[in-house]
Amino acid sequence: MELITGAEIMVRCLKEEGVEYLFGYPGGAVLHIYDALYVQDDVKHILVRHEQAALHAADGYSRACGKPGVALVTSGPGLTNAVTGIANAYMDSVPLVVFSGQVPTALIGNDAFQEVDAIGITRPCVKHNFLVRDIKNLAETIKKAFFIATTGRPGPVLIDLPKDVTIAKAEYHYPKKVKLRSYNPTIKGHAGQIRKAVDMILSAKRPMIYTGGGVILSDGSPELVELTQLLGYPITNTLMGLGAYPATDKQFIGMLGMHGTYEANMAMHECDVLIAIGARFDDRVTGKIEKFCPTARIVHVDIDPSSISKNVQVDIPIVGSVPNVLRAMISVIRDEKLKPDADALGKWWRQIDEWRGIKSLSYRQSNEVIKPQFVIQKLYEVTQGQAIITSDVGQHQMWAAQYYHFDRPRQWINSGGLGTMGFGLPAAMGAKFAFPDQDVACVTGDGSIQMMLQELATMKQYNTPVKIVNLNNGYLGMVRQWQEFFYQKRYCMTYFESLPDFVMLAEAYGHVGKRIEKPGDVEGALREAFAMKDRTVFLDFITDQTENVFPMIPSGGGQNEMLLAERDEMVSTHDEGMVLL
């Protein structure tokens, strides 16, 4: 009987789970784990420069390839720094297993050096967490953590490891399977509900398919494409759902929600049957709840029962995994040779095409100043729509979502739920680890990029060549836009009077930097950057300072109350909308 330390047990478990990369940062409480990592090559540790980045990189890795992301941080500040990344993954349902060091069990509760109550701090933003007090439970706890993180509605799971547990010895036994009597997600949809849903879907005169991040997380894109094309219905994706249905297909009518297309939001508002799949009726999507889809009967497919009828009451709920439920729907339709109402559908498409004709994503091009939308359009062209795009949070995020047409799932990686500035750069690095041969670009802004800038050093150390597309307008653009619209242009604390020279900064970190100030230079700079396959290139695009994101549903508005760039120069909002975000 061989006895090995807790740290060695942990590393062996990771190896058995097939973990390639462990993103982390050392410290006192995890020294034993780092010592166990030192003597092996199977699990590659990536040394980030800030714990938040470890989480975002693990998160980006997971979103890109579908495998769980794994991170390791030390106790105290290591853990508190990681909390934003954990919460970010929780809001977007990304499967992560996070190990945090903890002070020795005998000191827990004594306000020891670098002690925080990791379990208490993370409780509201993890799917589950464990404090391992006894080494005998360590391997099984790790198995449970991976099981919980990756099944059902995925999410981050934290394991808090007191230092003495990493030092203690035990026999190694990693269970092949784990069963939890209190956790058993429903995968297969209820056949009766599916049957009723199919009838409702086929009875539609003005149908609409609305899908979210759940389709991507469950790898349900092939089934979604098959069902959508079998029906011939219009489809819209949420910000989190982009790429689940090819954006260049004619049935795709754009993203919906606050900055969605006119046709997507109008079709939502006017539809008579709404088919919601792996989406959670988030407030960015619904606008004012009382005005949401006023004439629609709603089918909702989701693996999380608590997502159903949380914000919007639905008519036919189906709890189950997206691909499973959609396959069952497709079988019913094919077996019974069911057909949608072709006349009604034709009429509906004519209406949608009329809305499309408004061209809600048009903007005024300029020969003088670089329009941010133009940069994204060129990025799309230069990468032939094939790059993995990560983004930070703000105006640039919306422009990336609007103007880069994502044709495949896991190609678009952004912080949707929590809206975490700083996510984009470490996430791009994580995606690059998952797919070293693919082009990865991080679309960011001068505000967001400064929140995780230190990761340029990590990217140099591990040679993860990412193209950084910085839409630099000198402002916190999204906040500035709201101040312009709703606070009578009182631009409080949204202008950066001092910005670093990003070109020099990139060079200081050992990368290539380039500033682009003329519209005519945009495409050339992008081509040059992507030609440098093995270099991280920081492209600092000096863009129009006053450009706003359109279309827009102002707070408190309904989906049919969109503001369009050309039409609505002056914007006002409902008083009750002012309290909303």
Q: What's CA 305's distance to the chain center, in Å?
A: 21
User: Nearest distance from residue 120's CB to other proteins, in Å?
Assistant: 7
State the DSSP code for 500. -
Cβ 288 to other proteins shortest distance, Å? 17
Nearer to other proteins, 177 or 489 (CB): 177
The closest of 291, 296, 309, 267 to 576, measured between CA atoms, is 291
Q: Measured between alpha carbons, how far is 433 from 20 in angstroms, rounded to an integer?
A: 9
Question: Is 181 or 337 the residue whose CB approaches other proteins more closely?
Answer: 181
Q: Is 124 among the residues that bind other proteins (CB under 8 A)?
A: yes
Q: How far is the CB of 565 from other proteins (least distance, A)?
A: 38
Residue 205, Cβ density class (10 Å: 0-12 exposed, 13-18 middle, ≥19 buried): middle
Among 18, 47, 110, 123, binds other proteins (CB under 8 A): 123
Site membership for other proteins, residue 386 (CB under 8 A) = no
Q: Are the CB atoms for 403 and 373 separated by under 8 Å? A: yes
Half-sphere exposure of 449 (CA within 13 A, CB side): 27
CB of 156 to other proteins, least distance (A): 13
Nearest to residue 262, comparing CAs of 171, 338, 362, 342?
362
**Choices 179-187, 206-214, 343-351, 518-526; region in contact with other proteins by CB under 8 A:** 179-187
Q: Which two tokens stand for residue 473?
A: 């307008």
C-alpha triplet 429, 435, 439: angle, nearest 5°: 75
| Residue from 310, 339, 527, 574 in contact with other proteins (CB under 8 A) | 310
CA 354 – CA 357 distance, rounded (Å): 5
For other proteins, the closer CB: 310 or 334: 310
Tell me: does residue 313 bind other proteins (CB under 8 A): yes
Based on the residue annotation, tell me whether 114 is a catalytic residue of this protein. Answer: yes
187 near other proteins, rule: CB under 8 A: no
Shortest distance in whole angstroms from residue 181 CB to other proteins: 6
CB atoms within 10 A of CB 561: 16
Region for 257 from its dihedrals, namely left if φ exceeds 0, alpha if ψ lies in -120 to 50, beta otherwise: left
Would you count residue 180 as binding other proteins (CB under 8 A)? yes
Which residues ranging from 442 to 471 are in contact with other proteins (CB under 8 A)?
none
Whole-number Å distance between alpha carbons of 513 and 553: 37
Residue 70 or 312 with smaller CB distance to other proteins: 312
* CB closer to other proteins out of 18 and 120: 120
**Least CB distance to other proteins at residue 473 (A):** 36
Assess 182 for contact with other proteins (CB under 8 A): yes
436: number of Cβ within 10 Å: 11
478 is catalytic: yes
Q: Provide the token pair at 120.
A: 């208490």
CA atoms lying within 13 Å on the CB side of residue 374: 22
**Is 136 a binder of other proteins (CB under 8 A)?**
no
Catalytic residue among 114, 351, 438, 454: 114
Least distance to other proteins, CB of residue 304, Å: 7
Told to check if 259 binds other proteins by CB under 8 A, we report no
Q: Which of 53, 86, 148, 204 binds other proteins (CB under 8 A)?
A: 148
21's enclosing H/E stretch is: strand 21-24
Pairing relation of β-strands 3-5 and 169-171? antiparallel
Among 173, 176, 177, 181, indicate the residue that binds other proteins (CB under 8 A): 181
Separation of alpha carbons 520 and 369, rounded Å: 10
**Is the distance from CB of 271 to CB of 297 less than 8 angstroms?**
no
Q: Does 305 bind other proteins (CB under 8 A)?
A: yes
Residue 393, helix vs strand vs coil? coil
Size of the site for other proteins (CB under 8 A): 20
Q: Tokens 């420069």 belong to which residue?
A: 49
Q: How far is the CB of 183 from other proteins (least distance, A)?
A: 5
Question: Contact at 8 Å (CB) between 44 and 61?
Answer: no
Out of 15, 128, 190, 196, which residue is the one contacting other proteins (CB under 8 A)?
A: 128
Q: To the nearest whole angstrom, how small is the minimum distance from the Cβ of residue 533 to other proteins?
A: 44
Report if residue 119 touches other proteins, rule: CB under 8 A. yes
Report the DSSP beta bridge partners of residue 412.
Answer: 389
Q: Is 252 a catalytic residue?
A: no
Cβ distance to other proteins smaller for residue 102 or 444 = 102
Q: Which of 109, 120, 357, 436 contacts other proteins by CB under 8 A?
A: 120
Residue 134 or 336: the one with the smaller Cβ distance to other proteins is 134
Q: Identify the active-site residue in 8, 51, 270, 547.
A: 51
Asked whether position 304 contacts other proteins by CB under 8 A, the answer is yes
- Mark 5-20 as b/e (b = at least 16 C-beta within 10 Å): bbbbbbbbbbebbebe
113 is catalytic: yes
Tokens matching residue 8: 């060695």
Q: How far is the CB of 361 from other proteins (least distance, A)?
A: 36
Does 105 participate in binding other proteins (rule CB under 8 A)?
A: no
Instruction: Please say whether the beta carbons of 149 and 156 come within 8 A.
Output: yes
CB nearer other proteins, residue 127 or residue 356: 127
Catalytic residues: 51, 113-114, 163, 478
Interacting residues toward other proteins by CB under 8 A: 119-120, 123-124, 127-129, 131, 148, 180-183, 304-306, 308-310, 313
